[in-house]
Structure 1
Amino acid sequence: MDVRTFWLAGRPAAGDTELTVTNPHDGREVGRHSLPTDAQVEEAVAAAHAVAREAAALPVHVRAEALAHVSRRIAERAEEIAQLITAENGKPIFWARGEASRAVATFRFAAEEARRWSGGVQRLDTEPAASGRLAYVSRVPYGPVLAITPFNFPLNLVAHKVAPSIAVGAPVVVKPAPATPLSALLLGEILAETDLPPGMFSVLPVENERAAALVQDPRLPVVSFTGSAPVGYAIADQVPRKHVTLELGGNAAAVVLADADLDWAAQRIALYSNYQAGQSCIAVQRVIVEQPVYDAFVERLLPAVTGLVTGDPADEKTQVGPLVSEHAAERVEQWVQEAVAAGAKVLAGGTREGAAIAPTVLTDVPQDAKVACEEVFGPVMILQPAASVDEAYAMVNDSKYGLQAGVFTRSLDAAFRANRELEVGGVIIGDVPSYRADQMPYGGVKDSGIGREGLHSAMEDLTYEKVMVLTGLTL
């Protein structure tokens, strides 16, 4: 099997060692990739630093066309990319194809935003002392971006860091997750087809232990991290003077109010508690159901959960595949067992086979159980009855996380009340919290992170406002 090169300042490169990537489902070898040496990492960072001024000055049409090219090429290679995502991540091919499609849109949105990205003007002669003065306000990139990406969306979450960086003219150094580097390396191959200057991007599949040096390097003034809260906040603590954006996950709640369409809610919650094997920061974890419809909802939910097709992620019919590793599955199994030992009841699932956890539904879960108050990142949901809308919304907020919440209701009043009261970055009415459009602002509050993704929002996050005042004008 060929050893994949990594991407050093826009060109393919090889180190002196290699790592093997395996399929979480059956353990077979998916691919091998070369590992950068310390000297090559230094070369990549130095190149990003050296090209920063040129990158910021790149004409908009150059940035936009590079992004549009990447979008087109991902579309052309979509099936190949989806098969690769499934192989290295264990994500069912149905979901992998969806991820490839989303990456097409993410780069297309970035190309469109790049063409719209422009300054603004502000008249200052609102006071006599500023007569004849006009402010031109533009946004300027902080500088090269270190993008640290997770395993659960090995292409599209890389896209959400690379695309806005290029759109604003910021070089980007990508450190993909060690478990799933191949999709990012393929993206590097496509980026290398563009006319972006050398140094504009590097993809360095280094081990996690070597990331600290990159985080602390002053030539990378922006760190954009997606992953667990402990790691994210450790990064922020290490570099308090850098501009750090963190997307740190949550334990997303879906609220089912008494006026909801229970069949729709049950189908959506069953699927989106278990999509990606629950390995999504907005997978449904807590299900809060208004008491009058609790029993009727559970009657609909359990068949929907047990009816999900589990198994080989390469099978077209599979809806729920394995977790990223057997170690990850063992942790989820342990958390379920701890909850059961503390009094929780298993209504469905609760078993493990290798890296796969059966879709699991728990009830009577103590509030301090990990499956209730931490991020499970596995196919596990807990059911909680609520006596009223007041109690339901209070239960959503009773969490250290605040990424997104879903509210199933037909009431506009309940919807707008949810928007006012729920302490989350996004409220999805009539659907699960797992809904995300790639162009919309995406991020959370509390321990769910700092900053926003979504192309325009991320572009603002990677830049600062700069004001030029023109004097002596006749306005």
Structure 2
Amino acid sequence: MVQLKDVYPLYLNNKAAQPNADLEVTDKFTGEVAFRTALATPDVIDEAIAGAVRAAEPMARLASYEKRDVLTHCVTRFGERFDELAYALCVEAGKPIADAEGEVTRLIDTFRIAAEEATRNYGEVQPLDVSARAKGYMGMWKRVPIGPCSFISPFNFPLNLAAHKIAPAIAMGCPFVMKPASMTPLGAIIMGEVLAECDVLPEGAFSILPAARAGSDLFTTDERLKLLSFTGSPGVGWDLKGKAGKKKVVLELGGNAAVIVDKDADLDHALARIVFGGYYQSGQSCIHVQRVIIHADIYDSFRDMLAAKVKTLVSGDPKKRETFIGPMISAREASRLKGWIDSAVAGGATLLAGGACAGNMLEASLLEGVSRDSELYREEAFGPVVILSKFTEWKAAMDEVNDSKFGLQAGIFTRDIHQVLDSWDHLDVGGIVVNDVSSYRVDNMPYGGVKDSGLGREGVRFAMEDMSEIRNLVIRRL
């Protein structure tokens, strides 16, 4: 049986450090303190940034194979520690064990992809003799590391969303400081433990620093840092962008993703995928299915199928294999979403399933007739709730998808290639998934949003581009 330690360190300039054990992390199902970690003070954060600055040049000089070998080492060690990583997720995030195992698999995938990309940092030769004045000139460019990076990761995917920052940084040759979410720091700490086994990384190549929000401004404001990559809530993300100064900023923020189900869809397939996309890991995903827009010809039958299935989802202890709905991250968040559900019902919506809440356990909930003015429609639910509506014309369905301040991903279930292409042209989102849900992601694809959902793209190769600068070379032949 996996056992967690009582106390975990932070990682400062590649080394474990235990200045204190001030951060208590709870088991999200029992509410009991599961372990403690060190908490970084502003002085420690400053020391980590100084170390990253010193490490920038030696990191940039690492050979491609050396960076690949570091990432391959991580792949091997994460595989060896698979059960420990999954159990840690189950405890600190309240993630059902099957979802936790899936996230560890994606962690490994992300580092494996980065290991491959570490040897593919190509440039380009460019003809410059496009006019008479440039005859005899040629150009070429390459990508070079941007320098020290700051990463802030969220609570809901403590492994994979941290991996989407750490692995590309190593592949590109950028030192970094990371602040994992205080509610779920252990995944990143274990990654630090594994990276500390890699002697080829120069001192200061990485620091993993759990820290309170108060006193953490240096992660955002320090001018020595050349890039800030933040994943989390829109309110926090846009505020940090305003404080970031001259550094490049990448934001992966929230959403209230929509899925369209057309009358020609495979309804059994759509049903299974929407249940997954709407309720996996208790809906605490920025691309979780929040809105389902169903063709009027199939609306009643599909609604009834969906309601019946949602009522069968098992809630409870995330450590039990049969559990599908675990706890939300906190009782406060569950209460907030319960209030939105109740408000929607008071405004005329019909509750088709769920709706009950006890502590941080909110039942899988399904509603129809939700007002477009309600918080449950306009805002990001970030919990186990899905709302239904109907359409008759494809354009109206696309307009409803776009009727949101968010634009992360959308799913469409249709057999009509013309509607697929229309959607690709007109849906104002970062990605469209055909015959699957908005929640689907592969870790090498460009991933990110538009509007309030953020700036830039993750996905290993695309993150590496953000973590680099183009350096041009012009040669005149004499």
Show the 5 A alignment for 1:362-441: 362-441=367-446
Cα shift at 1:68 = 1.2
Per-residue CA deviation, residues 10-64 of structure 1 (Å, 9 max, x unaligned), is: 0001113422111111112221111123322221110001111221222111111
CA distance in 1, matches of 2:195, 2:20: 24
SS state at 1:210 partner: coil
Q: Is the 8 A contact 2:420 2:434 kept in 1?
A: yes
Residue in structure 2 matched with residue 237 of structure 1 by the alignment: 242
Residue in structure 1 matched with residue 53 of structure 2 by the alignment: 49
**Percent of pairs with identical residues:** 46
Residue in structure 2 matched with residue 173 of structure 1 by the alignment: 177
Show the 5 A alignment for 1:170-249: 170-194=174-198, 195-249=200-254
Name which of 352, 355, 360 aligns with 1:350: 355
Residue in structure 2 matched with residue 84 of structure 1 by the alignment: 88
Per-residue CA deviation, residues 86-107 of structure 1 (Å, 9 max, x unaligned), is: 1100000000000000000100
Per-residue CA deviation, residues 406-465 of structure 1 (Å, 9 max, x unaligned), is: 000111111111111110000000011000000000001111100000001111111121
User: TM-score, normalized by length of structure 2?
Assistant: 0.97
CA distance in 1, matches of 2:414, 2:357: 34
Residue in structure 1 matched with residue 38 of structure 2 by the alignment: 34
Show the 5 A alignment for 1:296-315: 296-315=301-320
Show the 5 A alignment for 1:15-26: 15-26=19-30
Counterpart check, 1:283 vs 2:288: yes
SS state at 1:365 partner: coil
CA distance in 2, matches of 1:148, 1:335: 28
The one-letter amino acid of 1:184's match is: A
CA distance in 2, matches of 1:344, 1:312: 30
- What RMSD over aligned residues (CA atoms) do the two structures have, in Å? 1.2
CA distance in 1, matches of 2:445, 2:128: 32
Name which of 322, 333, 336 aligns with 2:338: 333
Show the 5 A alignment for 1:241-280: 241-280=246-285
Name which of 307, 320, 325 aligns with 2:325: 320
Cα shift at 1:142 = 2.1
Residue in structure 1 matched with residue 120 of structure 2 by the alignment: 116
The one-letter amino acid of 1:277's match is: S
Counterpart check, 1:146 vs 2:154: no
Q: Return 5+ residue gaps in structure 2 as ranges.
A: none
Q: Return 5+ residue gaps in structure 1 as ranges.
A: none
Counterpart check, 1:442 vs 2:442: no
SS state at 2:22 partner: strand
Cα shift at 1:211 = 2.2
CA distance in 2, matches of 1:472, 1:8: 49
The one-letter amino acid of 2:367's match is: L
Q: Is the 8 A contact 2:7 2:21 kept in 1?
A: no
Residue in structure 1 matched with residue 167 of structure 2 by the alignment: 163
CA distance in 2, matches of 1:62, 1:133: 35
Per-residue CA deviation, residues 106-161 of structure 1 (Å, 9 max, x unaligned), is: 00101101111122211223433223322121112222111000000001100000
SS state at 1:32 partner: strand
Further displaced range: 34-43 or 182-191? 34-43
The one-letter amino acid of 2:167's match is: A
The one-letter amino acid of 2:151's match is: A
Further displaced range: 127-136 or 413-422? 127-136
CA distance in 2, matches of 1:232, 1:142: 21
Residue in structure 2 matched with residue 107 of structure 1 by the alignment: 111
CA distance in 2, matches of 1:37, 1:374: 34
CA distance in 2, matches of 1:288, 1:438: 27
Residue in structure 2 matched with residue 136 of structure 1 by the alignment: 140
Aligned length: 473
CA distance in 2, matches of 1:448, 1:37: 30
SS state at 2:308 partner: helix
SS state at 1:135 partner: strand
SS state at 1:259 partner: coil
Name which of 455, 458, 468 aligns with 1:463: 468
Residue in structure 1 matched with residue 63 of structure 2 by the alignment: 59
User: TM-score, normalized by length of structure 1?
Assistant: 0.98
The one-letter amino acid of 2:363's match is: A
Per-residue CA deviation, residues 70-89 of structure 1 (Å, 9 max, x unaligned), is: 11111111111000111100
CA distance in 2, matches of 1:258, 1:227: 35
